[in-house]
A and B are shown apart, each in its own frame.
Chain A
Amino acid sequence: MRPFTYERARTAAEAAVAARRPHAKFIAGGTNLLDLMKLQIETPTHLIDVNGLGLDRIEPTADGGLRIGALVRNTELAADERVRRDYAVLSRALLAGASAQLRNKATTAGNLLQRTRCPYFYDTAQPCNKRQPGAGCAAIGGVTRQLAVIGASEACIATHPSDMAVALRALDAVVETVKADGATRSIAIAEFHRLPGDTPQVETTLEASEFITGVILPPPLGGRHFYRKVRDRASYAFALVAVAAVVQRDGTGRVALGGVAHRPWRVEAAEATLPRGAKPTMAGILDGARPSHDNAFKLTLAERALASILAEARAEP
């Protein structure tokens, strides 16, 4: 860990202004940032603590949705009555992630911005374009079981590890931000995370020093909500494949995947085939996939996981 200076921001706007300082970073729960600082993967020289900003409420919006403050903890969000009733996919995704202790600290914004779990990213002796642009990618041709099967590039094949973000993608959430000049903007979740392309170090469409104030959930979708996270052990592991689905009585619905790409993966056009079952739908969602020998199973797995969700959706009232 490099030595750093520290300040507490008092307002969101102030936080964004403070972050104009070079090598500054916001710290929320710290559950991801601190680990990365200890390993010198992140080396900020200035930390802006944003925990005291009062962005820790979940409030109804005028059109019947919810506004989730950026600092709402994962535990509280998962337990919120309205979320459990109207956005169960989100609640389930959160509870499938990390551990109770981590969820108590982890925040909504921090969760969206958590960095990849690619093992080579974690070893500073290995070349990694995400850590050190231009260094090369040690993962390509290496141990890739956990890594991306679609949307990857010649520069990076990492996945985004968040469960919460997959549910937010299925719900068409919107990220709200403020910039140092005081301007605010709303970014659709579909536009928020980027594919790696030639610049895997740039993971979102946030601008430097832009601060997340909250996440908006559109009005409830109804339907039945599923989050099926498939992993090697029963808890406390990142997804091999995760399927978030909202299925309506008539068999239509939405599907988003985790564990397959550099961002939560959703192909709206492919959802039209959902009433015809998992096979055509997943074929559409994963069209163009380029898996490695080690992770080709994710394609079959995603399809089978969706099939089991659809079977459950049909079976119960």
Chain B
Amino acid sequence: MKFDAPASDNPIDRLKVVGQPVDRIDGPRKTTGTAPYAYERHEVVPNQAYGHVLGAGIAKGRITAIDASAAKAAPGVLAVVTTLDMPRLEKGVTNTASLFGGPDIQHYHQAIAVVVAESFEQARDAAAMIRVGYAPQRGRFDLTAEAPKAELASADSGAPPQEDRVGDFEGAFAQAAIRLDETYSTPDQSHAMMEPHATIAAWEGEKLTIWTSNQMIAWGKRDLARTLGLPAENVRVDSPFVGGGFGGKLFLRADAVLAALGARAAGRPVKVALTRPLMANNTTHRPATIQHIRIGAAPDGRITAIAHVSLSGDLEDGGPETAVAQTKLLYAGRNRLTALRLAVLDLPEGNAMRAPGEAPGLMALEVAMDEMAERLGMDPIEFRVVNDTQVDPDDPDRPFSQRQLIECLRHGAQRFDWSRRAATPGQRREGRWLLGMGVAVGFRNNLVMASGARVRLDRDRGVTVETDMTDIGTGSYTIIAQTAAEMMGVSLDKVTVHLGDSSFPASAGSGGQWGGNSATAGVYAACVKLREAVAGRLGFNSAEAEFVEGMVRAGNRGVRLGDAAGADGLTAEDKMEYGDLAKRYQQSTFAGHFVEVAVDAATGESRVRRMLAVCAAGRILNPKSARSQVIGAMTMGVGAALMEELAVDTRRGFFVNHDLAGYEVPVCADIPHQEVIFLDEVDPISSPMKAKGVGELGICGVGAAVANAIYNATGVRVRHYPITLDKLLEGLPATM
């Protein structure tokens, strides 16, 4: 089915099941520990052995020798595969560095060997016996030091790198009455999801099956086949449950490749989980940015000039963090400049993490906006309202499909008691605590991706949906079941959903907050086909047939839906594809984030007291799971604001704090009352579901709202994240 005109009325609009805050249908399996996660799938294949990955102990250089004799002789060891035993592997389309490094080492903890043994402990012990000789080389590990050598980069690989310009930024900025010219920075961050990357691999002749934890099944299958030089049809990938990914599992990673190589060497199925220390340096991370922002405005607050240039680093052939994405679209202003600069670094591979681009971009832009509002003597909300735009500022003929940003801010201000905020910072005190409020805008573009599904109707077993869509904790199972139930006119318990298997139709997958809307739209398409098949079998005119309460009705005839299936059942498969609506309209999601913090006047410890997000993001398919997405994202935003930072050793070239003791993320005690409001919105431009994404919108802007609240509390403006207490101490009130 092709979606190339705005959606008209359709069965989803009935909202009997869709739009309802139903519980997760996979909840009981998760709470009883019976949802199968990759590493624990003991039953899928017998005789599983354990693999342990050895990561390189240097960041750059060459392996001169590997002595694995002690490891091979260690108790329980079945096989040792080192990178020197192998011809160099192909690289997956989505991988920047090789997943099995060597003899050249591209980054710290790049995988260089896998040991397979009867037990996990034996494999780990033997891996430590491998002696590796290195010839280290000097690397480039310091973004600031490499900045002068950075080059212009493009957001889309393929497009020529260029500055994006509208009007005459320099001229307008020079003449602006009120100006801001500041530099902000965000650190490298780790996804730090609960479940590590994990895979069980089994060969049957030349056919390979992996049970794994991956957000994008079709990409994983393609890249695994490519890496191992197999025909794609020989590879099956199964990932029904994913214990968090946040972008860290978008791509094929070393666990899958080394489980497959280990299994081939051992002649047995092998399971591999990356250990926590490997996750930071072996896999991907959100790259650090240094962002230069200039804004010029007239005294009435209207922005006349805005420029945002973001620098980040990556390995050779890598890409930039697209931290200026929102600045192209968020505020009006006639003269504009955005650009990305990219430096080559020999740190581990930078890549997508929840809301790549906007998350770090807004951490800078929305602090800059707060600073501008102060210079203008305006309330930060009014300043944003004055600069709202209903069209793409680059191309005024392209309207936003929906844009309720002002409504988000106004509604939030009222709900949060914004009027109690002191306009002058450092005014409110409660015992040892300095109190402050901050606001920031959340903005994330909505992407639509082609997505397929197969739907089956059985006489007694109801409706079964199969798609390779994944549920990374987001609630995909549930919203897909809701979609099928709504379309087929049955209750939720009559729908069974199977996900994450590459033998199912390829879906949008989970990434870029496109999964919810796109995957359900694919299910919608398949259900439309199934409805036609049902109507056809019953001799109904399919345009007139109504699917309600387990019945199919047309005119005065009514048939039980199951009966229409017949003895063999009915199956339909389709795929939703998209025309050029996304070109003609700008599709984005919006939020107002409000935060109140308390800062210890003596020690500078910042503790968040209240948080509110007001979101406008199309139809909310399930307010309960959507809320969970947003509060989780807000939590991650607090982490980004206050504590998360992969600490770079710029001499040795690695992230030093590579475990959850050193890489701090918020704990329960850090997260106070969180409130989420979804504004009523349907977006017929996005898909027949009229929905958009929320999972990434929730993090966008939160960091800046926290930063602005800390400024309001203390009068100390911190432009370099995370805002740890050492950056506040000098500006806090004197003690005795």
**Could you list which residues of chain A lie within 8 angstroms of chain B, going by C-beta atoms?**
1-3, 38-40, 117, 119-120, 122-126, 138, 141-143, 145, 228, 230-238, 240, 277-279, 297, 300-301, 303-305, 307-308, 310-312
A-B contact pairs, 8 of them (CB 8 A): A1-B125, A2-B125, A3-B125, A119-B657, A119-B662, A143-B649, A233-B666, A312-B432
* Contact between chains at A235 and B669 (CB < 8 Å): yes
* Contact between chains at A297 and B726 (CB < 8 Å): yes
How many pairs of A and B residues are in contact by the CB < 8 Å rule? 112
Chain A CB within 8 A of B656 CB:
yes
Known contacts A235-B667, A311-B735; A141/B729 CB under 8 A: no
Chain A CB within 8 A of B642 CB:
yes
* Contact between chains at B664 and A122 (CB < 8 Å): no
- Cα A300 to Cα B643 in complex, Å, equals 20
* Contact between chains at B735 and A304 (CB < 8 Å): yes
**Which of A40, A125, A126, A240 is packed against the most chain B CB atoms within 10 Å?**
A125
Minimum C-beta distance from B339 to chain A (A): 31
Closest 3 CB pairs of A and B: A125-B57, A308-B602, A307-B735
Could you say which residues of chain A place their CB within 8 Å of the CB of B732?
304
Chain A CB within 8 A of B194 CB:
no
Chain A CB within 8 A of B128 CB:
yes
Chain A CB within 8 A of B651 CB:
yes
Could you say which residues of chain B place their CB within 8 Å of the CB of A117?
661-662
Chain A CB within 8 A of B392 CB:
no
Minimum C-beta distance from A226 to chain B (A): 12
Query: Which of B652, B657, B725 contacts A230, CB < 8 Å?
Result: B725
Could you say which residues of chain B place their CB within 8 Å of the CB of A120?
656
**Could you list which residues of chain B lie within 8 angstroms of chain A, going by C-beta atoms?**
55, 57-58, 75, 121, 124-125, 128, 277, 432, 600-605, 607, 642-643, 647-649, 651-652, 656-659, 661-662, 664, 666-670, 722, 724-726, 729-730, 732, 735-736
* Contact between chains at A143 and B656 (CB < 8 Å): yes
Smallest CB gap from B432: residue in A: A308
Known contacts A119-B656, A123-B658, A277-B736; A232/B729 CB under 8 A: no
Query: Which of A122, A235, A277, A304 contacts B659, CB < 8 Å?
Result: A122
* Contact between chains at B726 and A308 (CB < 8 Å): no
Known contacts A143-B649, A232-B643; A301/B729 CB under 8 A: yes
- Cα A13 to Cα B489 in complex, Å, equals 76
- Cα A2 to Cα B74 in complex, Å, equals 11
- Extra contacts, 10 of them, besides A119-B662, A301-B603 (Cβ < 8 A), are A38-B124, A143-B648, A230-B725, A233-B642, A233-B670, A307-B736, A308-B601, A308-B602, A308-B603, A311-B736
Minimum C-beta distance from A99 to chain B (A): 9
* Contact between chains at B729 and A143 (CB < 8 Å): no
* Contact between chains at A3 and B735 (CB < 8 Å): no
Could you say which residues of chain B place their CB within 8 Å of the CB of A311?
602, 735-736
Minimum C-beta distance from B586 to chain A (A): 38
- Cα A305 to Cα B724 in complex, Å, equals 16
Could you say which residues of chain B place their CB within 8 Å of the CB of A142?
649, 651-652, 656
* Contact between chains at B652 and A138 (CB < 8 Å): yes
Known contacts A123-B658, A304-B603, A311-B736; A235/B668 CB under 8 A: yes
- Cα A301 to Cα B642 in complex, Å, equals 17
Smallest CB gap from A231: residue in B: B605
- Cα A142 to Cα B661 in complex, Å, equals 18
Could you say which residues of chain A place their CB within 8 Å of the CB of B603?
228, 230, 301, 304-305, 308
Could you say which residues of chain A place their CB within 8 Å of the CB of B657?
119, 143
Query: Which of A39, A125, A279, A305 contacts B602, CB < 8 Å?
Result: A305
